[in-house]
Amino acid sequence: MKRMLFVFNPRSGKEQIRGSLLDILDIFSRAGYELRVHVTQGPGDAREIVARYGGRMDMIVCSGGDGTLNETVSGMMKLKKMPLLGYIPAGSTNDFAASLKIPRRMTLAAGDIVEGKPFAIDIGTFCDDRYFMYIAAFGAFTEVSYLTSQDRKNLLGHQAYMLEGVKSLAGIKPCYAGGVGGKCAGGELCLRYGDQYQERRRI
């Protein structure tokens, strides 16, 4: 019998999985999967569980927002043998699911997982232990998604991120780079890659 690890965030997207969970499990069971179900308990939990049990599975399915998906993929990247990955979107924005046209209706997404055709996706990495699938960012607003509380996302949806972004504006301050070999000093902002200065702009 095929084995599946199903990991889901119960609080994502106004806890919408509550009304669909039994139907989802039924779809997977009827498709011939022996299920191991894990309810995430906090940040980093999905990554740890997937890394611990994923190597014994034929399929790993996660349900939650983009953060839950990222944790799941990060856990999978630690496995020697890569199982298939399924995703049931349940977050506030679900950007990745929208880009792949994964159904927002959870039972339809579950049906696609067991009946659809697998396809490859690219995984990027930096610092050897941080992974991303479709976007990586740095700069003034990169912490917004982490600072936005789950309760606020459940209440406001996508607007919660915008509100947190506005709050962070007050903390933005200019950054000055000191001179290195006389190439950059004072009020100039330098972007350095390797030993080459790629850009120099007055701030």
Can you say whether the dihedral through the CA atoms of 111, 99, 76, 81 is positive or negative? positive
Residue 185 has pLDDT above 70, yes or no: no
**What is the model's pLDDT at position 193?**
46
**Mean pLDDT score, 76-95:** 89
Residue 106 has pLDDT above 70, yes or no: yes
Helices (H), the chain: 12-15, 21-30, 45-53, 66-76, 95-99, 106-115, 144-147, 150-156, 159-168
pLDDT averaged over every residue in the chain: 78
**Mean pLDDT score, 32-41:** 97
Q: Which of 34-43, 121-130, 167-176, 178-187 has the lowest mean pLDDT?
A: 178-187
Could you report the per-residue pLDDT of 109-149, keeping only the tens digit for each?
Answer: 999 999 999 999 888 887 777 787 766 655 555 565 655 65
**What is the reported pTM?**
0.69
Q: Which range is most confident: 5-19, 26-40, 68-82, 148-162? A: 26-40
Domains within the chain, CATH numbers bracketed: 2-122 (3.40.50.10330), 175-203 (no CATH)
